[in-house]
Amino acid sequence: MYYLCPLMKDSQFFVFNNSPEWVETYRAQRSAPSNIALVKYWGKEDPQIPKNPSVSFTLDQCRTHTQVNFQKQNKHEEVPFEIYFDGVPKPEFKPKLQSFFKRILPYVSYLSEYNLHIETHNTFPHSSGIASSASAMAALAACIMDLEMQLDPSQSLDYSLQKTSFLARLGSGSAARSVQGPIVGWGQHPKTPKSSDLYGVTIDNTHAAFNNYCVAILLVDQGQKAVSSTLGHCLMEGHPFASQRFDQARDHYAQLIDILSQGDLERFIKLVEKEALCLHAMMLTSDPQFVLMKPNTLQILQSVWEYRKNTGNLVAFTLDAGANVHLLYPDNIRKAVQSFIESELTPFCQNGAFIHDRVGVGLKKM
Ligand code: PMV
């Protein structure tokens, strides 16, 4: 028996309680992008409720492609599934998915009457150090919602997108922001009246300066992260700077919404870089403390500051929970920044690896 958590009163909205128009078999195929946070989510409470609101750029090229074959079967207590990654069975992915299905089942009860065969593939290298849980959970949630649309064709597209983000969030918080694009907020904040802790929403009325924004991912360390983001979120509990950090993030969110509508790139850079460093400052000062940056991460930050000072080109960095660096820059300086990356930054990347990407629109049918 699964219970809805009392904190999630509004989540009742997402419970499927129509009579389904059952289908015997169904194949859903969806692709979802990764995203990079500008204001970071770091700290949460059950069930995946963020301690502060966050905002991200949705990426375009870094994606997870997922296909799910749903086969009708007798009702089960749990959702039976098998998972393949690049054609290879991945039993090690099962525990995370089992707890995902357990969390979402109260909202998608029909799933207990299907067997799921899941096949996924990432467009970016698996061991690149790019967090794939956001794109993976968003793509899987989108496949489930595609089935739900077959069972209840009366649903609106808006509802379906909202519920996709709601379900994705229950798999990985940042996945809530991988459903739409190009700029998405997740977490309640008065600056975005439609915002919610339960799902991501698009940040509208942004300035043309942010159209087609470019993102380059510099792959400093392609290994497994030393500390998972799940553990990192937990370490914000009892963290000496937790409440200051959550207040700061709320303030940064408000500032960023203004910057995004005004198109002020200098303020954008200042705020985004501060956010990246504050995220890592939380890691450096937690108990136990941990360091995810590498010496080459710092070399890149230094080079970006020097490059900006010498050329005036408005390129910013941000960091995820890892050693890789994301560079953010407007399309009109793309050529100059790309040659800066290729000539000066690749020596700091593992095997010289980097990915050129840009902001994108979110989910796609495959
Ligand atoms: O979604 P999670 O639990 O992997 O947490 C993501 C945390 C950061 O990537 C560091 C920040 C963010 O907002 O995406």
C-beta 41 within 6 A of ligand 1? yes
- The pLDDT value recorded for residue 262 is 98
- The pLDDT value recorded for residue 10 is 84
CA of 37 to the centre of ligand 1 (A): 8
Condensed to tens digits (0 to 9), the pLDDT of residues 178-203 reads 999 999 999 999 999 999 999 999 99
C-beta 172 within 6 A of ligand 1? yes
User: Which of 4-8, 29-33, 120-124 is predicted most confidently?
Assistant: 29-33
The band of 223, judged by pLDDT with boundaries at 50, 70 and 90, is confident
Strand partners, 358: 214
CA of 311 to the centre of ligand 1 (A): 32
Give the mutation target among 34, 46, 229 for probing the ligand 1 site: most ligand atoms within 8 A of CB: 229
* Exposure b/e, 8-46, CB count within 10 A at least 16 = b: beebeebebeeeeeeeeebebbbbbbbbbbbbbbbbbee
C-beta 173 within 6 A of ligand 1? yes
Q: Give the percent of the chain with pLDDT over 70.
A: 96
Give, rounded to a whole angstrom, the gap between the first and last alpha carbons of the chain.
Answer: 35
Atom in ligand 1 nearest the alpha carbon of residue 134: 1
Residue 8 confidence (pLDDT) above 60: no
- The pLDDT value recorded for residue 297 is 97
The band of 7, judged by pLDDT with boundaries at 50, 70 and 90, is very low
CA of 163 to the centre of ligand 1 (A): 20
Mean pLDDT along residues 207-230: 91
C-beta 320 within 6 A of ligand 1? yes
C-beta 137 within 6 A of ligand 1? no
Condensed to tens digits (0 to 9), the pLDDT of residues 278-326 reads 999 999 999 999 999 999 999 999 999 999 999 999 999 999 999 999 9
CB 312 within 8 A of CB 306: no
